[in-house]
A = this chain, B = another copy of it.
Amino acid sequence: MRLRFLWPGKTRNRELKSLQDFYAERIRALADVEIIETREARGLPENQAGKIKDLEAVGLEKHLEDAYIICLLDRGTEMTSQELARFIGTVERNSAKPLAFVVGGFLGLADRVVGRADLRVSLSRMTFSHELSRIMLLEQIYRALTIHRGRHYAK
């Protein structure tokens, strides 16, 4: 399985970056994985949200062409961990494409990126910081891979 994680900008919080590396390493033992931190719009005031999201869309779009695209959104489909694991298994069996998980930056994803999603998923009805969301996603994907392989993983 090929997995690609895309988000604008580096994970700045030191602990979250360390957790990101921790999960990426564990996922790497079970699948091909790339984490691509795309170009981030910097130095623009927050009231230029449209422009910021458009600039960040350019960076994300470079890595979507060949992929099955899963966008993380507040208002996406909610799944249980088991449902997510089954879903990933189904895509893996029926597609040669890599799975690209796309997480928005501080202000979220541009509509033109969301519009390309093959699946829109929500981790929660609650809104988490975009850096914490990255870790929650990685943890779920690691969990999904261990569910597939029947491995024991912490509840």
Contact = CB atoms under 8 A, between A and B. Distances in A.
Interface in A101-155: 106-108, 123-130, 132, 135-136, 139-140, 143, 154-155
Interface string A70-103: 0000000011110010000000000000000000
Contact of A16 (B19, B127, B155): B19
A135 B79 CA distance: 21
Interface residues of A, number: 30
Contact of A129 (B78, B125, B127, B139): B139
Count the copies.
2
30 contacts: A13-B19, A15-B15, A15-B16, A15-B19, A15-B22, A16-B19, A78-B124, A78-B125, A79-B125, A79-B126, A80-B125, A80-B126, A80-B127, A84-B126, A108-B155, A123-B124, A123-B126, A124-B125, A124-B126, A124-B136, A126-B140, A127-B143, A127-B155, A128-B136, A129-B139, A130-B155, A132-B135, A132-B136, A132-B139, A136-B136
Interface of A: 13, 15-16, 18-19, 22, 78-81, 84, 106-108, 123-130, 132, 135-136, 139-140, 143, 154-155
